[in-house]
Structure 1
């Protein structure tokens, strides 16, 4: 005496159910085993790396224009938060601007570094 159904339709249904159950069990086994394996971070392809826009390098020095919030132009360090939109300058040009009377920022105090020999 078998504990399986006697007709073909129910046997096929049971076969389908067992196949689906076996697939789910195998997926669960793979999920449990996955953390035991060392993880590798996927490297982006060369095309993906090329598609990412490069951020411009922060200039070492800059000059902010006279504007509504700033009545006069000022020399700033490139990373100064008070500089706002600045035009990049070389150290030599920043020294020359300071020598010509352009004001130094009171926050980042670029003259302390620029006037060193």
Structure 2
């Protein structure tokens, strides 16, 4: 018979004490993990439901609303409050911007938000770029707008001497 335990009683008692200490450590770790898992499960069950729509709020005393988001949008900031479907539609119709990622205006069935013709024509125009020109007086640069329809998109800078 293969027996790898020591033959004397003192060493066997030492091994038994050592193993009891390890079993106590293992039992304590099992109890701590069981308690942690029970607390996590209780937290999952008691978590309030995720709102369907949220409004991202600004900074300041009055904290004005900034954007409307879907409840599960990851882009929404930390300053937010839940709103119901009717309030989200009302805020979007009043001119509040919608998130470009979760697109709550599409999900709410609002396709045309702007009835202002000036806003529609401004959105159709290309953005104006401002280019810094280094050839200004006394080494100071001058800024000038560039019309993307008429001028070249390549800007040549002044050569340094």
Tell me what 2:58 maps to.
66
Q: TM-score, normalised by structure 2?
A: 0.38
Tell me what 2:49 maps to.
57
Tell me what 1:81 maps to.
74
Structure 2 segments unaligned to the other structure (5+ residues): 1-6, 24-32, 111-161
User: 1:82 Cα shift?
Assistant: 1.8
Matches within 5 A, 1:1-117: 16-17=9-10, 19-20=12-13, 23=16, 49=39, 54-67=46-59, 73-84=66-77, 85-115=79-109
| Structure number having the greater strand percentage | 2
Tell me what 2:28 maps to.
none
User: 1:22 Cα shift?
Assistant: 7.8
Structure 1 segments unaligned to the other structure (5+ residues): 1-13, 32-41
User: 1:15 Cα shift?
Assistant: 6.7
Q: 4+ runs of 1 displaced by more than 4 Å?
A: none
Counterparts of 1:61 and 1:89, CA distance in 2: 5
Q: Which structure is richer in relative contact order (CA contacts within 8 A, separation 6 or more)?
A: 1
SS in 2 for 1:82: coil
Report the count of equivalent residues.
83
SS in 2 for 1:73: strand
